[in-house]
Amino acid sequence: MAVGVPIRNHRDLIAWQRAMELAERVYAVATELPESERFSLSQQLRRAAVSVPSNIAEGHGRHSRKDYVKFLRIARGSLAELSTQLELATRLKLVRNDPQTAQLIEETDRILNALIRSLVVRSND
């Protein structure tokens, strides 16, 4: 999304776009898990990954700054949950270390933090 272009819907948000990229990557990573984890850690990873863009979209769709910030914070919580689950899977050697996914998590977190800060600052004006 170019600077100065109006945000018409959640798809225009860079935070949502990065979160969707992350969810796609996590689905790919989840397929690497052994069969014994298909219905436990795999499902948790996928749910947390889907929760991030879903909460960004839901918050944006509420048309209330207070609700928007609340759902962005929930998205950040899901992102932290996802990061923890991926780290555990990596430590247990259930999946290979994937620096690109870790980098995408960090980038998504930075974007969410900046978006939350900008909305909170504007509400204090």
Is the per-residue pLDDT at 5 higher than 90? no
Q: What is the mean pLDDT of residues 19-39?
A: 93
**Res 2: pLDDT:** 46
Identify the CATH class of 12-123.
mainly alpha
Q: Where exactly are the structural domains of the chain?
A: 12-123
Is residue 111 within a helix (H) or strand (E), and if so which, with residue range?
helix 99-123
What one-letter code names the amino acid at 19?
A: A
1 pLDDT more than 70: no
pLDDT at 124: 62
The whole-chain average pLDDT of the chain stands at 92
What one-letter code names the amino acid at 99? Answer: P
User: Hey, is 50 helix, strand or coil?
Assistant: helix
Q: What is the mean pLDDT of residues 29-54?
A: 93
